[in-house]
Structure 1
Amino acid sequence: MIEAHSLSKKYGPKTAVDDVTFTVRPGLVTGFLGPNGAGKSTTMRMIVGLDRPSGGSVTVNGKVYRDHAAPLHEVGVLLDAKAIHQGRSAYSHLLALGATHGIGASRVHEVIEMTGLDTVAKKRVGGFSLGMGQRLGIAAAMLGDPSTLILDEPVNGLDPEGVMWVRELVRFLASEGRTVLLSSHLMSEMAQTADHIIVIGKGRIIADAPVVDIVSSATTASVRAVSPRAAEMARLLNSPDVTITSIDGETLEIVGLTSAAVGEVAATNGIVLHELTPLRGSLEDAYMNLTADAVEYRTGVFDPANALQPAAHADPAKVDAPHEHTHAASHAAPTHAAPSGPEALR
């Protein structure tokens, strides 16, 4: 279990984390979400003792991280998969890491097989691709068979098979009663993986609830009805508590009524419906609504007409191509499938 109480972190005048309190419980996959600069990475670094809190406290399994005699057996961490000696092989890296806790070669071989790194285990990490590095980072996190896992963007760079493997792995680990804290910017994947969500924005906790509660409270459910008599339907459904939007001549979007209620009105009045679909918000919709006022690095409105035009009066010879900075770490995934579920951990 991870418990944070009034946790804060300041860098000079900048407050990165501002008096946050939360609990990450065992038996659940807890998603940790927030915009860039929201305080996610700083919070995770404080959990594992890489940054010292300016105020408050955070414990893992009842102790401050530095007080654990054998931390690899308590918490497995993936924060930056590139933070590895680039000249070492994956096997040598894991063997050296295990030696600090008396973990031998047999366990190293287990986690290498579990993460699908068998064919590249003796190759230098410096030649690894993004996805392969993520697999090595997960192998290092699992090396001590810990009861708590903290994974920052673990699916970054993985192919679809790798993404599915991580999803199955963390859900299996949670089903064993372990604590799993998982950060990601992939809302669709988080919606399939997490049981509980913590959202942070501008250093403060915005939401802390089960996924279904987050979605239902931060989005609006509606009903789409398609009928050649849509205008008549709109008149029949009109009331102070109902909002009806005409999408086109035959399509209505209705807020304030269930699909069953809309269907009953149509049937009673002999109105043919070509479609009647309940529409529910997604985790991405909920996240965007919750963080609308908490985005620190906001982009401008994209204008396709001007997107490729050079700036006025700019010297083309001095205009650099834009560069995209990628935060997470990496190593490429082998083409064969890694085992998942209980077999992966035995």
Structure 2
Amino acid sequence: MIEATGLTKRYGAKTAVDGISFSIQPGQVTGFLGPNGAGKSTSMRMMVGLDRPTSGTVTIMGKPYAEHDAPLAVAGALLDAKGVHPGRSARSHLRALAATHGIPERRVDEVLEMTGLSAVGMKRVGGFSLGMGQRLGIAAALLGDPKVLILDEPVNGLDPDGVLWVRQLVRYLASEGRTVLLSSHLMGEMAQTADHVIVLGRGRIVADAPIDRLIASAQTDRVSVRAPEAARLAELLLRVPEVRVEHGADGSLTVEGVPAAVVGRAAFESGVELHELTPVRSSLEDAYLALTRDDVEYRTDAAHAFPPAA
């Protein structure tokens, strides 16, 4: 379990983390989301003692990380996959970690096998791809067979097979009763992996809920429509207050503001033939964007992001 109470971190006049409190439970994967600059990485660094809180506390298994006798057996973390000497081999890097923490050397072979790095264990890390570096970082996090796993963007640089492997790994570890905290900007992947989500915005918690509940909170009346007379149907629907209609490049319509039954009735009464009428479910991305739209550090006006086509 990871518990934070009033956790705050300031760098001079800038407040990176602003009095947040949460409890991350064992037996589930908890997603840690937020725009760049929201305070996710700073919070993770404070969890494992790399940054000291300005005020408040964060504990792992009831104690600050640094106070545990065998910290790697309590919590393993991937915060910076590049934090390895490029001249060392993967195996020597893991052996050094194992030796300094009293971990049997056989565990090095186990985590190399677990992460698919056995064949390149003697190669220098400087020649590793981004994905291989991520796998090595995960191997280091698993070295102490920890009860808590903290992973910051673990699928960065991984191919689809690697992404699937990380998903299956963290789900398996959670099923064993371990605490898993996972940060990622890939909403689709997070939706398939996490049980619970904590969302940060400008250093504060803007959501802390089961993922299904968070997605349901963003649900709106939105319908996908295909019809030979789409333009006429759109004209009819726009007479209804609060209705918005978007025209797709493929001739489809996305109608927002009324349920599918209302669209179907309007089409029937006006004699418009329908080829498709599908309610559109909200996604984790919809919920996330709604929660953080005022908290992004950099904002681009999509209408002016690219020059018009010649």
TM-score by length of 1: 0.80
Distance in 2 (CA, whole Å) between partners of 1:36 and 1:135 is: 23
Shift of 1:228: 4.3
Give the SS at the match of 1:86.
coil
1:232 Cα offset (Å): 6.3
Instruction: Describe the shift of the 1:228–1:89 C-alpha distance in structure 2 as closer, same or farther (beyond 3 A).
Output: closer
Question: Identity of paired residues, percent?
Answer: 64
Q: Deviations over 1:190-227 (max 9, x none)?
A: 12211211111111111111222222323534112333
Render the CA deviation track for 1:147-179: whole Å, top value 9, x for unaligned: 110000101111111111001111111111111
Larger mean CA deviation between 210-219 and 58-67 belongs to 210-219
The 3 A distance-change label for structure 1 pair 127 and 226 is: closer
Q: Distance in 2 between matches of 1:181 and 1:260?
A: 41
> Is 2:223–2:260's contact at 8 Å kept on the other side of the alignment?
yes
Q: Report the more deviating stretch, 294-303 or 271-280.
A: 294-303
Work out the CA distance in 2 between the residues paired with 1:237 and 1:266. 13
**Preserved CA contact (<8 Å) 1:46 1:52:** yes
Distance 1:104 1:220 in 2: 54
Conserved 8 A contact 1:223-1:279? yes
1:191-202 to 2 correspondences below 5 Å: 191-202=191-202
Q: What residue is the counterpart of 2:69 in the other structure?
A: 69
Query: Does residue 281 of the first structure (1) align with residue 282 of the second (2)?
Result: yes
Q: Using the TM superposition, give the Cα deviation of residue 253 of structure 1 relative to its aligned residue in structure 2, in angstroms.
A: 3.5
The verdict on how the C-alpha distance between 1:177 and 1:258 changes in structure 2, with shifts beyond 3 A counting, is farther
**Where does 1:95-110 land on structure 2 (aligned, <5 Å)?**
95-110=95-110
Tell me how many residue pairs correspond in the alignment. Answer: 305
Q: Of 279, 302, 306, which residue of structure 1 is paired with 2:305?
A: 302
Q: Which has the higher contact order (CA 8 A, sep 6+)?
A: 1
* C-alpha distance 251-37 of structure 1, shift in aligned 2 (>3 A): closer
* Whole-angstrom distance in 2 between the partners of 1:235 and 1:127: 62
CA-CA distance at 1:234 after TM superposition? 7.2
From the superposition, tell whether residues 246 and 61 of structure 1 become closer, same or farther in structure 2 (CA, over 3 Å): closer
Asked if 1 retains the 8 angstrom alpha-carbon contact of 2:195 and 2:210, the reply is yes
1:290 to 2:291 alignment: yes
Q: Which runs of 5+ in 1 are unaligned?
A: 307-346
Equivalence map 1:39-78=2 (5 Å): 39-78=39-78
Which one-letter code corresponds to 2:298 in the other structure?
A: Y
Distance 1:233 1:36 in 2: 38
Q: Is the contact made by 2:236 and 2:266 (CA closer than 8 Å) also made in structure 1?
A: no
Residues 2 and 24 in structure 1, CA contact (< 8 A), matched pair in contact too:
yes
Q: Which whole-Å CA distance do the structure 1 matches of 2:244 and 2:52 have between them?
A: 53
CA 1:257–1:158 in 2, change beyond 3 Å: closer, same or farther?
Answer: same
Give the 5 Å matches for 1:256-335: 256-259=257-260, 262-263=263-264, 272-299=273-300, 301-305=304-308
* 3-state SS of 1:209 partner: strand
Letter in 1 for 2:146: P
Structure 1 residue 285, shift from structure 2 partner: 2.4
> Runs (4+) of structure 1 moved beyond 4 Å?
228-240, 260-271
Q: How does 1:139-218 map to 2 (within 5 A)?
A: 139-218=139-218
8 Å CA contact 2:233, 2:267 repeated in 1: no
Q: 8 Å contact 1:8–1:54 — kept in the other structure?
A: yes
- Looking at structure 2, the residues matched to 170 and 21 of structure 1 have their Cα atoms a distance apart, in angstroms, of 24
- Assess, with a 3 A threshold, how the Cα gap between structure 1 residues 83 and 229 changes in structure 2: closer, same or farther: closer
| Cα distance change of structure 1 residues 186 and 89 upon mapping to structure 2, 3 Å threshold | same
C-alpha distance in 2 between matches for 1:233 and 1:184: 38
Shift of 1:233: 8.8
- How large is the RMSD of aligned CA atoms in angstroms? 2.6
Shift in Å, 1:269 = 8.1
Tell me if the contact between 1:4 and 1:21 (Cα under 8 Å) persists in the aligned partners. Answer: yes
